[in-house]
Chain A
Amino acid sequence: MDVKNLHTYFYTKAGVSKAVNGVNFSLREGEILGIIGESGSGKSVAVKSILQIVPRPGKIAEGQIIYRGRDLLADKQAIGQVRGKDITMIFQEPMTSLNPVLTIGRQLTEGIRLHLGLSKEEANQRACEFLKQVKITNPEELLTRYPHHLSGGMRQRVMIAMALATDTKILIADEATTALDVTIQQQIIYLLKELRDRLHMSIIFITHDMGVINEIADNTAVMYCGKIQEYASTYEVMKHPRHPYTEALLKAIPSIDAEQQKLSTIPGSVPSLLALPEGCSFSNRCTQCTDRCREEEPKLIRLEDGHRVRCWKYDGQGEVVDS
């Protein structure tokens, strides 16, 4: 899948809020792409734009989303055929995605029966197989349960099973482990990695947690104010962060395996999308900010080692890849 020059704007009374402002990335088969950013960075809106489920008054203003040769934004029929089938999404709170008055079995088999035309017994059997794949030990019993009977981790497993049931190619996980306890979060991370290895599906994993990104993602995009500020392999982003924002973010996290006397902080807070600073959107918080940063917006540059970064510090050191 290729996302090209995606712009999603929210048309509010106070003005146009450019939540996603020119995002480009591509996703290969079997790749886990991590998107990291603070609240309001546009990471969630970006992936909701892929499925065209951006809540009002948000609208996709521009861009292309190419999946298997078809542009999902231009081809009106395409999205209906892939949404919930080839491309599925799981959310932070699975309780809101599950119907509280229907049993797990009913909800899981609904899609299977619809798409494959199986009888109830056959569909139940298929559902059990998928539940086993997500490491649920007693699938038959679980089918008769209601969502509120399950723990948060179990519900998230059921959501993943639903995605598997439609033979999904791309799974979008929007803060899917944020509400879970760390030990359960780790179980889900390993489950997703294992499913990727076995089924070769691609995953877009959105989170605000650098540690989680480090555990799961192959490549990482760092978002800030609606734009990708840095993109590289996860190892590179963690080991040699190039953008001052990524660098500052990594230093602000208390670490489990290092001693820090005082946490370094990023001054100020994320600017309102209605009142972005001129030039670079991070300029008002950046410690390495120059006059040029305040006036002119930097472009995304691909450095020699393939690392992409949007910062004037690297001007002339590589090829400009987008505006």
Chain B
Amino acid sequence: MEEILRVEKLEKHFIKETGFLKKEKKVFKAVNDVSFHINKGETLGLVGESGCGKSTTGRMIVDLIQPTSGSIFFEGKNIADRSRDRKSQLEIRKNIQMIFQDSYASLDPRLTAGQAVEEALDIHRIVTGKKEKREYIEKIFADVGLQKEQIDRYPHEFSGGQRQRIGIARAICLQPKIIICDEPVSALDVSIQAQIINNMEEIQKKYGISYLFISHDLSVVKHISDRVIVMYLGYIFEEASKEELFARPLHPYTRALVEATPSTNPDLPKRNKPALKNEIDTSLIGVCCPFANRCDSVSDICWKQEPSVTEAADGHKVRCHLYK
């Protein structure tokens, strides 16, 4: 399979100035040593709990946040170094689009759905001419399951699910190669969530777009992804194909996450205790294994040394001392 995006050793450290006259600097390592790749036409699921750096990673790829270090290769070219001219910037933005969780916040309330799409078309000069643009927008709207009549309506006239469809329309109208989807269905009711997920899958099939699908919901990620990455406190803990990851989760955190995800199967025996104890501890980042305080397979080495990545099976990578 052809690789379209590769991320290597991506890091983001946020610096917070505190203390008297902001003399003290606190560094928060949000993303650490993150490397992965996305193939053409596939969906890579990125799953993790709040604060694991999944959104920061997505935002670095679309250039909303500047990485501290590391490289992002899009079709072989490093785009992490953003000191390029406006023309190539535009070219990258056209090819890497984003869909956000809060569809209302990401739409201008004073632009109609059609104008929101048109704005993007004008900037990137995809289609010109009034009539051609209208026809093109109608076609895109049909793709995302919106009616022609809805083109001239304003965001507040739509329901949450429909607004998310406008967000998708705006992303796909530029014919991008990758879409970074940051929790696109998390705010929706289940019946609407299923409609949007199906629609996204249809669009992917039709246009061959790759998705980086960021979500905290393991069930959704399992449904939509081809491969899955599990993140925790800025580190990738495990990466594998979907089938492999759910059949043989290696990292104790992945196993706990699978066990903690509520199932709708009433026949499964109920556990008698939660899968994980304690809560995330950010003070462990960069010191030892950041998961050491919650892990039930913890040993001395976990408290002393940061684990490195091991390839346990073909394409199945895990960051844990157990698999050294």
- A residues contacting B by CB (< 8 A) are 38-39, 151, 153-154, 181-187, 189-190, 208-212, 214-215, 234-235, 238-239, 248-250, 252-258, 260, 262-266, 269-270
Binds A, one of B97-105, B112-120, B136-144, B218-226: B218-226
Instruction: Find B159's partner among A184, A212, A215, A269 (CB 8 Å cutoff).
Output: A269
Q: Determine whether B256 belongs to the interface, using a CB cutoff of 8 Å to chain A.
A: yes
Beta-carbon contact of B266 and A235 below 8 Å: yes
What B residues does A212 contact at CB under 8 A? 262
Q: Determine whether B274 belongs to the interface, using a CB cutoff of 8 Å to chain A.
A: yes
What B residues does A270 contact at CB under 8 A? 189, 191
Instruction: Find B264's partner among A186, A208, A211, A263 (CB 8 Å cutoff).
Output: A211
Q: How far is the CA of A238 from the CA of B257 in the complex (A)?
A: 22
Beta-carbon contact of B191 and A265 below 8 Å: yes
Beta-carbon contact of A239 and B49 below 8 Å: no
Instruction: Find A263's partner among B189, B197, B273, B276 (CB 8 Å cutoff).
Output: B197
Known: A183-B260, A208-B189, A266-B191. A257 touches B279 (CB 8 A): no
What A residues does B216 contact at CB under 8 A? 181-182
Beta-carbon nearest neighbor of B242 in chain A: A259
Interface size class of B (residues with CB under 8 A): 35 or more
The contact sample of 18 A-B pairs, CB cut-off 8 A, is A151-B279, A151-B280, A154-B279, A182-B262, A183-B275, A185-B260, A185-B262, A186-B262, A210-B264, A211-B261, A211-B264, A214-B262, A249-B190, A254-B223, A255-B265, A256-B218, A256-B222, A269-B159
* Contacting residues of chain B (239-275) with chain A, CB-CB under 8 angstroms: 256-258, 260-268, 270, 273-275
Known: A209-B262, A254-B219. A184 touches B197 (CB 8 A): no
Beta-carbon contact of A238 and B197 below 8 Å: no
What B residues does A184 contact at CB under 8 A? 49, 279
A75 CB → nearest B CB, Å: 37
Beta-carbon nearest neighbor of B51 in chain A: A181
Beta-carbon contact of A264 and B194 below 8 Å: yes
Beta-carbon contact of A239 and B193 below 8 Å: no
